[in-house]
A and B are shown apart, each in its own frame.
Chain A
């Protein structure tokens, strides 16, 4: 019924009914999406006037941002170091937790097949919950401060690392493992001498990448009270010290860029080391 009313038919060009149905479905979906956007704009009261009204206030803030300032260099550098510490310790805990879990999650090395699926599901769940929400949960559990931040990053990292580690493990050649089994090696021997050497470089590359992500997260965790430089930013904003807020933002920017540079350099080194893998 729907098909008879499509423009293609009206134009007299015979079309594949399936393609026509797909096109209609697409149009309906696009229509719904557009309707939702328009409805949201009205419901949230977003009018051109709101933007024009915001302009004077924006210029007021802007004027007071310049020049960016560092109010208390000592406190700020302590906060920067704390952010880095949260990121590094959180990543380290995440890695330590993820390696054994990935050994369970990887199809080819899991001690018990149904556990593999369960572990992957668990990792997917942990991954689906954003880091900030984990931070909230841990603040409720252990109170304000860096501990909550570290736990949030550790758990959030685990969600991702278990997945990528398990995928790396699933790619390893099984022959050497069979050989070690045949020589009477134990499970732990096989894990450390047969499996780990094959994946260690991929593990390092992913872990460095995750550290990079965690440094970004650690700068923002303070906003909810989980320690680090984010807390300084929130404080400056609530004291209306916009120049200090901009100063802190610049510091965060430098911190994140530096981390990314270091992480890329590290990963390139690992890649160079693994380049010969292609010819195998």
Chain B
């Protein structure tokens, strides 16, 4: 199965030059108010349908990079173009329209614990829902049915009407995936989706993400701590070190030496406290 994935990955990476990138990042910089330079001149192109793993030490800028893409974090400078739209220049209304085309999955799942599972999935539609209906949580029948279908796809059909707080971590993350899928997004951003999960839940969550990316050709960017998971599931691996792109290649191009350099080849004087 691994070799199958790799050939697919190669095909996709080689076709990169012909298809226009879904997401194009140019000279992205982010310096936090406390002076921490989280991203330094990051430029990337991600074509449609790829599953890209972003790896690197904690503090390397993975999470900041992802949050700049949907502007949960304001970039300091640089340009992000998503599906022909300039994300960095978008004003409030436009930003909302861009955001609803990007699903996001979080390390801490970020579900509203007090609400039923299916309502949390339906939250993925809020960007398309009118103020009154959205506030009251009155979603149209076909969306409710779609949400139940999504839950069935992630294997949680029988949990739909439980409160989220009653689920296990792995189940919560699958609800998070269903919520992101519910958006009908072209891009899914998964920020450390398995960092709080045990191995078997992690496998399950990554497998679902992989299925979504392949079957529905949804471009997926996954921040990962674990290199082995990146190698097992991703088409392409981007290594971030100290806020800069250290390596960017098809998964099977990732060698032991590169990994060692990425994680241990730190130049001491650049080492920051984070």
Stretch at the interface among A78-86, A126-134, A187-195: A187-195
A184 at interface, CB cutoff 8 A: yes
Q: Given the complex, which residues of B lie within 8 Å of A180, measured CB to CB?
A: 123, 126
Would you call B126 and A185 a contact (CB within 8 A)?
Answer: yes
CB atoms of B99 and A182 under 8 A apart: yes
Stretch of A27-35, A115-123, A171-179 lying at the B interface: A171-179
Asked if B113 is at the interface (CB within 8 A of a chain A CB), the reply is yes
Contact of B131 among A186, A194, A276 (CB under 8 A): A186
Q: B189: which A residues are within 8 A, CB to CB?
A: 182
Let me know if B179 is at the binding interface, CB within 8 A. yes
User: Quick check: is B1 within 8 A (CB to CB) of the other chain?
Assistant: no
Shortest distance from the beta carbon of B126 to any chain A beta carbon, whole Å: 4
Contact residues in B for A173 (Cβ distance below 8 Å): 113
Alpha-carbon distance between A76 and B44 when the two chains are bound, in angstroms: 79
Closest chain B residue to A181 by CB distance? B72
Query: A211 to B109, alpha carbons, bound, how many Å?
Result: 37
Q: How far is the CA of A184 from the CA of B124 in the complex (A)?
A: 9
Contact B113 A183 (CB under 8 A): no
Instruction: Tell whether, in the assembled complex, residue A198 and residue B112 are in contact, meaning their CB atoms are under 8 Å apart.
Output: yes
A280 to chain B minimum Cβ distance, whole angstroms, is 6
B104 within 8 Å of A (CB atoms): yes
Segment touching A, from B50-58, B133-141, B202-210:
B133-141
A183 touches B99 (CB 8 A): yes
- Tally A residues with Cβ within 8 Å of B: 24
Of A173, A182, A186, most buried by chain B (CB within 10 Å of CB) is A182
On whether A176 and B100 interact (CB within 8 A), knowing A189-B126, A189-B131, A192-B134, the answer reads: no
Contact with A along B76-117 (1 / 0, CB 8 A): 000000000000000000001111111110101111111100
Nearest-Cβ distance from residue A165 to partner chain B, whole angstroms: 17
Is residue B171 within 8 Å, beta carbon to beta carbon, of the partner chain? no
User: Is B183 interfacial (CB-CB < 8 Å)?
Assistant: yes
The answer to whether A184 and B96 have CB atoms under 8 Å apart is yes
Please classify the interface of chain A as helix (H, G, I), strand (E, B), loop, or mixed, using the class held by over half of its residues. Answer: helix
| B183–A176 touching, CB < 8 Å | no
| B59 part of interface (Cβ distance < 8 Å) | no
Interface residue from B98, B108, B127 paired with A175 (Cβ < 8 Å): B108
Q: Is the CB of B127 within 8 A of A192?
A: no
Residues of B near A48 (CB, < 8 A) are none
Partner of A184, one of B100, B110, B113, B135: B100
Contact of B72 with A182 in the complex, beta carbons under 8 Å = yes
Q: Is there contact, CB below 8 Å, between B104 and A179?
A: yes
Q: How many B residues touch the partner, as a band?
A: 35 or more
B24 sits at the interface (CB 8 A): no
A197 interface residue per 8 A CB criterion:
yes
| B99 contact set on A, CB distance < 8 A | 181-184
Q: Are A185 and B106 in contact (CB under 8 A)?
A: no
Do A189 and B129 contact each other (CB < 8 Å), given the known contacts A178-B72, A183-B99, A183-B103? yes
Q: Provide the residues of chain B in CB contact with A182, threshold 8 Å.
A: 70, 72, 99, 102, 104, 189
CB-defined contacts of B115 to chain A, threshold 8 Å = 193, 197
Count chain B CB atoms within 10 A of each CB in A173, A179, A180, A280 and give the residue with the most.
A179
Residue of B nearest to A195 (CB): B112
Once the chains bind, are B131 and A183 in contact (CB under 8 Å)? no
The reply to whether the CB of B165 lies closer than 8 angstroms to some CB of chain A is yes
Interface residues of B in 190-217 (CB under 8 A from A): none
Q: Contact at A198–B113, with CB atoms within 8 Å?
A: yes
In whole Å, how far is A156's beta carbon from the nearest beta carbon of chain B? 29
Residues of A within 8 A of B180 (CB): 183
A197 near B114: Cβ-Cβ < 8 Å: yes
B residues less than 8 Å from A186 (CB atoms): 96, 126, 131, 134
Nearest CB of chain B from residue A243's CB, rounded to whole Å: 53
Closest to B119 in A: A193
Contact across chains for B112 and A197 when beta carbons are under 8 A apart: yes
> Is the pair A193, B106 in contact by a Cβ cutoff of 8 Å?
no
Residues of A within 8 A of B137 (CB): 192-193
- Give complex CA distance A234, B113 in Å: 52
A179 to B99, CA, bound (A): 11
15 contacts between A and B (CB under 8 A): A182-B104, A183-B103, A183-B123, A183-B126, A183-B180, A184-B99, A184-B101, A184-B183, A185-B127, A186-B134, A189-B126, A193-B115, A193-B137, A198-B112, A280-B165
Given A184-B183, A192-B135, A193-B126, 17 new contacts (CB under 8 A)? A175-B106, A175-B110, A179-B106, A179-B123, A180-B123, A182-B70, A182-B189, A185-B96, A185-B134, A186-B134, A189-B135, A193-B112, A193-B123, A198-B113, A200-B114, A201-B114, A276-B165
Which residue numbers of A lie inside 8 Å of B, CB to CB? 173, 175-176, 178-186, 188-189, 191-194, 197-198, 200-201, 276, 280
- Which 5 A-B pairs rank lowest in CB-CB distance, beginning with the nearest? A184-B127, A184-B100, A175-B110, A192-B135, A185-B126
